[in-house]
Amino acid sequence: MSTTIAGSIMPDKLPHIFFEVALEVLPELDYDDLVYLSQLVRAQQREPVYSPLVDAVRKVQWMKLSSMDATGLDAVLVAQYDASADVILNDPVGQIRHAKALLELVSHGKAALDSLAVFLNDLLALGLSGGDRDFRRDAFKKKLASSHASLEAFLHAESSWLQLNSTASTSIVSARDEWLHRGFPDVAFMWPPSEVGVLPIPKALTASATTGATRATHYSTREFNDYHFSRIVRLLGMSISLAIEMEASRMSSPPPRSPNAQFRISAVKFCLTKEISVREPTRQLKLGPFSAS
């Protein structure tokens, strides 16, 4: 279950520090971990150190929303196919919206990585500054790997995902650089739907439009999105677990974890434009259509 609270509630009364995040969108993150980490951070008045981590979670939420948009568009288009109908479908607006969602997905993903790099550099006292705190930099990844065994294993296993100047769309770093600075998500409309959907993503970043798509040459939209999103969620979860471990070790007597929370509370800015009493018996509070679905 989840709820959204008004901005009029004082921030120090909230169970966590992750403001402007619709946590309903991120069931992949352990809410109890977020609450307990916030408890440890507040007890030591270390909120400024955690600003980049909060920012990373915000960006991962935007990445998830972009993934949902792209996957939903492809699914709607695939559903239009009727083998018995003599129809050739084309949908330029849907195709462009899909490309926009893909660009946003890799852009928000790389931005989340940038925020995580700043956070981990400070948390682990790596001593780097400015642009050296970047997952594209081998020196940064080497220092990060040497700081903790879990990070070393992740960076070794996912080196291709973070590879600079890769020709593969599985590199979030290279996909973002190619699509943002040099080109765009060049995804052809495949009709009838190919085995990887109507709008499959080429495995080669600079691949030109083809007359067809197979699992050997393309990823389905869902496969592509899940590949990138699952990795950043793993790295984010790893960073949160490491932060809990380190913050607890800084305290002589760390507080116990509170019982599992029943509600995921999303704290966003909210303003009533006129005086309204929400305590009247007939007055209702309800979630809007985008949050209630």
In the predicted model, is pLDDT for residue 208 greater than 90? no
Res. 1 pLDDT band, cuts 50 70 90? very low
- Contact 1/264 with Cβ under 8 angstroms? yes
Q: Which position has the higher pLDDT, 278 or 81?
A: 81
Res 8: pLDDT? 42
Supply the pTM of this predicted model: 0.91
pLDDT score at 117: 98
Residue 283 has pLDDT above 80, yes or no: no
Beta strands in 180-235 (DSSP E): 201-202, 218-219
CA–CA gap between residue 109 and residue 111 (Å, rounded): 5
What's the chain's Rg over C-alpha atoms?
22
Residue 165 has pLDDT above 70, yes or no: yes
Q: Which of 11-15, 57-61, 185-189, 279-283 has the lowest mean pLDDT?
A: 279-283
Section 143-161 average pLDDT: 96
pLDDT of residue 45: 95
Give per-residue pLDDT as tens, 71-109: 999 999 999 999 999 999 999 999 999 999 999 999 999
Give the mean model confidence (pLDDT) for residues 238-255.
96
Q: What are phi and psi of 70, to 5 degrees?
A: -65, -45
Which is more confidently placed, 200 or 270?
Answer: 200
The answer to which of 110-114, 172-176, 197-201, 272-276 has the lowest mean pLDDT is 272-276
Backbone angles phi and psi of 201, in degrees to 5: -100, 125
Going by pLDDT thresholds of 50, 70 and 90, the confidence category of residue 233 is: very high
Strand partners, 266: 4
Residue 3 has pLDDT above 60, yes or no: no
Q: How far apart are CA 49 and CA 57, in angstroms?
A: 14
Report the range of poorest mean pLDDT among 21-25, 259-263, 286-290: 259-263
Structure tokens at 203: 């495995």
Q: Is the pLDDT of residue 9 over 50?
A: no
For the cut 70, the answer to whether the pLDDT of residue 262 exceeds it is: no
Selection from 135, 130, 128 nearest residue 155 by Cα: 135
